[in-house]
Amino acid sequence: MTVRSLFIAFVLMSSVHVSAQQDQPSLICPATKPAVRDVEHRIWAGFHTRDLAALDKLINDDFISTDDGGTRRGKRERLAEIERPEGDIHTEASEQPEDFRVVFTSGIAILNFTRRWTDYEKKMGIDWGSVVGVLACENGGWREVAFQETDMPNKNRKPLVGAGDHNINDYVGHYRFGESGDKGEVSITRIGDKLYDTWADEEATELLPGKYDMFFSREDGLAERFLRDKSGKVTGILYTLGDGEVEAKRMP
């Protein structure tokens, strides 16, 4: 099963409620790691069990989310996602986050952790990684006010079964962007049985083989496919990130 690690940054802001007519103490959210971790877990449980009532209390009315593709949603759109029938895609998320960190400063709590999410396509029997988000608080209780999805490469990803048939010597060489190389160059080198991609003077990045002429990187979400001419000779690299593409042509 392929599972992709995801970076979750939850921002929780302490809201101070003060009455102008009455001398009442401020209602401040408990600034402790267990307190905010408990809220994060209750939000996870709400989505896991599709509990709209619980989520309505845990999510601020002014909530806004941004996913990894730049799409923005408010509270209504966020809750509407779990009101719809599941369909052919089933999503699972690990209950306990990893590498959980909290920083409290000036009435703000910033949570930073990793959670693993996987989407399963029921009919085709395939799975792939999915993404998550950001938070906030009011009237003495932490509430989700923002949600930011940031995809993290899977550091433990293994090459696909049957992907070891690459003749990696085919790919070694220098490639350039733009007709004259004015857009930059990239070098593909081999060390032992591993292939590396080096852009300009940056550090080399190991490439993990997929099927055919496709490779992936642990460092980012780039997928790169080596292009061949009719004779089978490698002539370039097509880099794909999201719905963007850029091609580098092999230098003689």
Q: Are residues 92 and 186 in the same domain?
A: no
Angle CA 145–50–130, to nearest 5 = 70
pLDDT at 2 over 50: no
pLDDT in tens, 188-209: 999 988 889 988 777 888 888 8
Q: Are residues 13 and 135 in the same domain?
A: yes
Q: Are residues 26 and 106 in the same domain?
A: yes
Q: Which of 103, 120, 151 is the last residue of a domain?
A: 151
CATH number (domain holding residue 236): 2.40.128.50
Please tell me the predicted confidence (pLDDT) of residue 84: 85
Percentage with pLDDT > 90 across the chain: 17
pLDDT at 12 over 70: no
41 burial class (0-12, 13-18, 19+ CB within 10 angstroms)?
Answer: middle
Both tokens of 226, joined, read: 């080596």
Please tell me the predicted confidence (pLDDT) of residue 152: 63
Question: At 38, is the secondary structure helix, strand, or coil?
Answer: helix
Domain that holds residue 176: 168-250
Q: Are residues 218 and 133 in the same domain?
A: no
Q: Are residues 244 and 131 in the same domain?
A: no
Is residue 234, in this structure, part of any structural domain at all? yes
pLDDT at 221 over 80: no
Mean pLDDT across the stretch 158-182?
Answer: 73
Please tell me the predicted confidence (pLDDT) of residue 126: 61
Q: Are residues 35 and 109 in the same domain?
A: yes
Mean pLDDT across the stretch 143-155?
Answer: 66
CATH number (domain holding residue 77): 3.10.450.50
Is residue 163, in this structure, part of any structural domain at all? no
Global model pTM greater than 0.75: no
Please tell me the predicted confidence (pLDDT) of residue 243: 73
Count Cα neighbours of 80 within 13 Å in the Cβ-side half-sphere. Answer: 5
Please tell me the predicted confidence (pLDDT) of residue 157: 58
Q: Which of 100, 121, 151 is the last residue of a domain?
A: 151
Overall number of domains in the chain: 2
Please answer whether residues 236 and 250 qualify as being in contact, where contact means their C-beta atoms are separated by less than 8 angstroms. Answer: yes
Enumerate helices (H) and strands (E) in the chain, giving the number of each: 3, 17
Is residue 194, in this structure, part of any structural domain at all? yes
- Characterize the bridge pairing of strands 141-151 and 59-66: parallel
Q: Which of 121, 151, 181 is the last residue of a domain?
A: 151
Is residue 156, in this structure, part of any structural domain at all? no
Q: Give pairs for 247-250: CB < 8 Å, separation 24+.
A: 247/177, 248/175, 248/176, 248/177, 248/185, 248/186, 249/175, 249/176, 250/173, 250/174, 250/175
Please answer whether residues 235 and 224 qualify as being in contact, where contact means their C-beta atoms are separated by less than 8 angstroms. Answer: no
Structural element, H or E, at residue 82:
helix 75-83
Q: Closest by alpha carbon to 95, among 48, 128, 132?
A: 48
Cβ neighbours of residue 219 under 8 Å, at least 6 residues apart?
A: 153, 205
Is residue 185, in this structure, part of any structural domain at all? yes
Residue 129 CA: distances (Å) to CA of 4, 83, 117, 162? 5, 22, 6, 21
Count Cα neighbours of 81 within 13 Å in the Cβ-side half-sphere. Answer: 15
Q: Are residues 26 and 105 in the same domain?
A: yes
Percentage with pLDDT > 70 across the chain: 71
Please tell me the predicted confidence (pLDDT) of residue 250: 93
Amino acid (one-letter) located at 12: L
Q: Are residues 142 and 196 in the same domain?
A: no
